[in-house]
Each structure stands twice: as structure tokens, then as C-alpha cells.
């Protein structure tokens, strides 16, 4: 089916930035849970290769930590990982071992 045109522009030219996952563009939260996770839309890791954040045992965490270092929602990410006892991957710029040490000190 051919697209419909009006004034030389396709009728379906607009794409909602929320559906595209554009960072910084958020859908209004419908409930408390979705509001609590709204930070994930701005996370730099959501725009990169997830394998960097879940390296093989003994693999380098350098790339993931570098990305986390410039992420504006780093603290929200770390808080989420600590509250939910995330045991794998880099969250908030810390590895599993670093988060475990942080929990022990608290």
C-alpha cells in the first residue's frame, strides 16, 4: 500500500521520539513503578552495546565504567542496583565486587 501524501509530505512522516527511545524524552509516568525506572530512558548504557556491561568472567570492565563516568543518571542506576541486589554486570559505574564491598561498608 502506497503512503498517502498531502502537500508533498507523507502523512506518516512523524515518528514519536518516545517510541524511538530518544534520550531525555520520557512518557509521563502512569504509576509509581514506571516513574521509579524513568531514569533508564536517559542511561547511556541503553544506547550502547550491552555486552560491555556484562563482560565474561575476568573480562575488562573499563569500557563500561568509562561510559558510566559520563552518564547523568549514574547515581540512580547504582541506587537501583543496590536496592535490587543486582549480582551481575556494571551498574552505576561499579562491578559486582565493588557493589558488594559498598554494601558491607554501609
- Could you give the number of structural domains in the chain? 1
Return the bridge partners of 6, or none: 9
Return the bridge partners of 5, or none: 10
Q: What is the pLDDT of residues 22-31, one digit of tens each?
A: 555 555 555 5
Is residue 87 included in any domain, yes or no?
yes
Domain with 95, as residue range(s), is: 40-106
Give the CB-side neighbour count of residue 40, counting CA atoms within 13 A: 11
Render each residue's pLDDT in the chain as its tens digit; 106 residues.
555 656 666 666 666 666 666 555 555 555 555 677 888 989 999 888 888 999 988 899 999 999 999 999 999 999 999 999 999 999 999 999 999 999 888 7
Binding-site positions read 45, 68, 71, 77
Among 67, 98, 68, CA closest to 82: 98
Is residue 14 included in any domain, yes or no?
no
Is residue 86 included in any domain, yes or no?
yes
Calpha distance 60→58 (Å, rounded): 7
The pTM score is 0.66
Is residue 67 included in any domain, yes or no?
yes
Distances (CA, A) of 94 to 2, 11, 36, 87, 106: 50, 46, 20, 11, 15
Binding-site positions for [4Fe-4S] cluster read 45, 68, 71, 77
Among 65, 16, 20, 76, CA closest to 43: 76
Amino acid at each position: 500500500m502506497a503512503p498517502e501524501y498531502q502537500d508533498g509530505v507523507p502523512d506518516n512522516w512523524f515518528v514519536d521520539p518516545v517510541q524511538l527511545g530518544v534520550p531525555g524524552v520520557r512518557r509521563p509516568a502512569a504509576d509509581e513503578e514506571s516513574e521509579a525506572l524513568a531514569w533508564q530512558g536517559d542511561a547511556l548504557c541503553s544506547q550502547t552495546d550491552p555486552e560491555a556491561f556484562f563482560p565474561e568472567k575476568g573480562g575488562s570492565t573499563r569500557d563500561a565504567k568509562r561510559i558510566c563516568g559520563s552518564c547523568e543518571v549514574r547515581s540512580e542506576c547504582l541506587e537501583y542496583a543496590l536496592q535490587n541486589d543486582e549480582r551481575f554486570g556494571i551498574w552505576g559505574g561499579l562491578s559486582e565486587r565493588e557493589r558488594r564491598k559498598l554494601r558491607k561498608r554501609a
